[in-house]
A and B are shown apart, each in its own frame.
Chain A
Amino acid sequence: MSGKSPALRTSLPQRRLARKGLLFTAPYVVLLLLFGITPAAYGLYQAFIVTKIMGDPEFSLWQNFADVLGDYRLGTSAANVALYMLTWLPALLILVFALALAMDAKRSKFAALTRFLTYVPGAITGSAAALLWLFMFSPTVSPIGPALRALSGTDATFVSDETMPLILAIMGISAGAGGWVVILFGALTGIPSDLIESAQLDGATAWQTVWHVKLPMIRSYVAFVLIVSLANGFQVFVEPTVIRAGAPAHISQTWSVNQLAYVYATGGQLNYGRASALSILLLAVCIGLAVIIIKRTNFYSLEDN
């Protein structure tokens, strides 16, 4: 970390590189300001605008947040999302790391086929996913009908508020695991081969290579998977909405926290301030967890230490 010393900071090549750094990032910075910061800042501003039933909107630093936190539906939604995360995240992490490491251990044709098939469900989204999963979870028409019947004991649809964490975990793993496997496998193949070879020359077993060479080398990706998955999990919205479209009587409209935000923004009240306030609270939880992960894994360092 010699670059931190003031003497080097002011040297001419360093200044030239600093200018190049700004130049290289300029197009991205423009896009970030226009399509990242601007809408986010506007959303933040909206969180402090209170919609009145009668009369003009008012500015308040706390009113929307207090209203949201006092909403009786929030507790249920938050508990639903928490239960879903506890079902889905550990299963996803174990599966994607196990798959990527198994594929890397022996790069066979069969492993490549598995990697391909793991990815395909990720391409099925929106209305197509709605059609597919509604059929999958209706015992009379589903290829896994007998298993569903054994679990629920009836022929009625398996979809309900209580089974949603399990359904969403299966949907989430089916649609999301393939992408992570590709990324992690890519990271594993990016490890310089002489590192692996020298470990093997020193007599490391396959398992020791995994624990002491491969996993430490892809440590940044562990943090990356965790942060993005946490954010996606907390924000779960499309899947419960999609499932609900086919079984409206079985699923609450505000099953997840983000669905509650959507109901604020689009429901009878058109209360965009409350929707923004809830999004900010949700984001605060995500950022809090992300900061802990970043601190723990030293994610930001310029060089690999």
Chain B
Amino acid sequence: MLRLAGGKIGRNLFFVATIVFFGLPVLWLLLAPTKSNYALSYENPMSFGSLAQFGDTWNNLVTYNDGIIWRWALNSIWYTAVTVGVALAASLPAGYAMAKFRFRFRGTLLFLTLLLMLVPQAALILPMYLEMSTFHLINTPWAVILPLTFYPFGVYMTYLYAKASVPSEIIEAARIDGCGEFGIFRRVFLPLARPVIVMITFFGVVGTWNAFFLPFIMLTDDKLATLQTGLQLLVASTSAVSGGNQSTLPIHAPEVALASVISITPIVLMFLFAQKQLIAGQAQGAVKG
């Protein structure tokens, strides 16, 4: 397979197969809101329903609970913005310092960072809940935001990038020119590190946006829910996925699919944007070895 992927035709065939594998479920999800619940189960899975049906699905969703879905969207946006802002401000200097400075506990810090990346999230949820309740933060956005500002993945990615792609000679040269350490970080490292900054920002946003268990446990007030936990509330209150039909609300599989599409749209748009930024960053920051 590898050798085949080396040639132009082989490579493009490889890409086509990849697109089919990854694209098919997504296409199904995009088509689902255009169909009625009945059509979804009994008609061709990859058929397009109708725009009128899509309009009905849309109305059913946005009128649910007085349009609470927009409130969930707003919550997701501001929780994510604050979380990622703080996470970056802490992670970038830490990753840079661990790659380029030699100091006490550097090895310990690296080890703990990697170790805590391996600790199962599920194992930390209950202790985290007790900690947040000690600070009286349960049922406030901070119970979700604060734990997620600890971002070992961002620190590691910055560390790897600084180690592999930012030559120590450049930093040494700036130092000889009399630039302070913070100045070097800000004016030399940050511009060079643009690809990795875009990358960890992107993964930070995705991780926070998609976080499910933490908001699920910490926030019991419907009005504080994020899009992810809101979607769960939507499903739970209507049994739209498990197939039961006890609810009189017009929320079924197509409405849930539409809510899913709404919740993934910002991530997909951001990916398109980040991809351009990554390529732009690579063109500018061509590092001489």
Contact = CB atoms under 8 A, between A and B. Distances in A.
A195 B126 contact: no
A132 interface: yes
A253 to B, nearest CB: 15
B6 A105 contact: yes
Interface string A29-67: 111101111111011001000000000000000000000
A233 B2 CA distance: 25
B164 A106 contact: no
Contacts of A174: 21-22, 25
B117 A27 contact: no
Contact of B232 (A127, A183, A265): A127
B117 A115 contact: no
A98 B195 contact: no
Contact of B29 (A28, A132, A261): A132
Nearest to B93: A24
A268 interface: no
B241 interface: yes
A254 interface: no
Among B128, B168, B279: residue with most chain A CB under 10 A:
B128
A31 B160 CA distance: 20
B284 to A, nearest CB: 12
A297 interface: no
Given A18-B103, A28-B155, A118 B185 contact: no
Contacts of B199: 182-183, 186
A124 B260 contact: yes
Given A35-B150, A127-B231, A224-B160, A302 B94 contact: no
B112 A17 contact: no
A25 B106 CA distance: 9
A190 interface: yes
A102 B28 contact: no
B109 interface: yes
Q: Mostly helix, strand, loop or mixed at chain B's interface?
A: helix
B248 interface: no
Contacts of B34: none
Interface size class for chain B? 35 or more
A227 B114 CA distance: 9
A127 B256 contact: yes
A279 B231 contact: no
B99 to A, nearest CB: 8
Interface string A84-118: 00000000001100110110011000111111111
Interface string A271-297: 010011001001100110010001000
A101 B234 CA distance: 42
B152 A20 contact: no
A149 B271 CA distance: 36
B104 interface: yes
B98 A25 contact: yes
A245 interface: yes
Interface stretch (B9-17, B65-73, B74-82): B9-17
A14 interface: yes
Nearest to A17: B101
B210 interface: yes
Among A21, A178, A283: residue with most chain B CB under 10 A:
A21
Contact of A124 (B15, B235, B242, B264): B264
A233 to B, nearest CB: 11
A279 B45 contact: no
Given A25-B94, A27-B93, A228-B117, A99 B232 contact: no
Contacts of B219: none
B52 interface: no
B5 A276 contact: no
B253 interface: yes
Contact of B196 (A34, A37, A145, A186): A186
A130 B177 CA distance: 57
B127 A300 contact: no
Interface string B208-238: 0010100000000000000010011011000
B93 A112 contact: no
Interface stretch (A74-82, A133-141, A159-167): A133-141
15 contacts: A20-B181, A21-B102, A24-B181, A32-B109, A38-B131, A98-B5, A105-B6, A127-B228, A133-B25, A143-B45, A179-B203, A190-B161, A227-B114, A235-B121, A237-B120
Task: Rank and list the top 4 A-B pairs by shortest CB-CB distance, nearest first.
Answer: A21-B103, A128-B260, A21-B101, A24-B97
Given A40-B124, A136-B28, A190-B195, 6 more contacts: A22-B105, A111-B15, A117-B18, A117-B22, A132-B25, A283-B119
